[in-house]
Amino acid sequence: MHNIILIGFMGCGKSTVGVRLSYHLRLPFLDTDKLCEQKMGKTIREAFEQDGEPFFRKTETEVITDLADRKDANIIATGGGLPLREENRKILKDVGLTFYLRATPETIFDRIGHDTKRPLLLCEDPKSRIESLMKERDPLYTAAADHVIDVDGKDFRSIVREIASLCKELT
């Protein structure tokens, strides 16, 4: 268990923070969305359209299970839906230290309200979709996390520093 895992809603900055943290701490960066796409041989959007969301969720659980079996230390950015399954939340506890990057629905909407790569936001009213998903998910992200980092209004550099210094304290 020496991984650092970033969880949180789509658009909260997991990948951007993860890549920068990986430079800062000199650890490799992994992204469960990318690992799922490699495993499925298609993009997440294609998987949702051609095979349905349950197929993607099953792949996501396989990917995090494989990561739990690895012995090396990595910075891992997760897909926003990964911590929703109880089974995955349990696995996360074994995989490493988990940080929840908490953002408000307003911040999320500003960043990705018009994104076309995220199938869950391809709807008439992405703003209300973000708000309702956030309400459901925030308690689950909090339950899965060892630490919550509020990201609104902070630049990536300060978020990276905050996580790096917490890692020193917590390990």
Interface positions with ligand S3P (CB under 6 A): 10, 14, 33, 44, 79-81, 118-120
Least distance (Å) from ligand S3P to the CB of residue 74? 16
Least distance (Å) from ligand S3P to the CB of residue 19? 13
Side chain identity at residue 17, one-letter code: V
Least distance (Å) from ligand S3P to the CB of residue 61? 12
| DSSP bridge pairs for 7 | 100
Nearer to ligand S3P among residue 80 and residue 126 (C-beta)? 80
Buried b (16+ CB within 10 A) or exposed e, 134-166: beebbebbeebbeeebebeebeeeebbebbeeb
Torsion of CA 88, 148, 79, 155, to 10 degrees: -170
74, 30 Cβ separation under 8 angstroms: yes
Nearer to ligand S3P among residue 14 and residue 89 (C-beta)? 14
Least distance (Å) from ligand S3P to the CB of residue 11? 6
Nearer to ligand S3P among residue 13 and residue 96 (C-beta)? 13
Nearer to ligand S3P among residue 136 and residue 169 (C-beta)? 136
Distance CA 117, CA 142 (A): 25
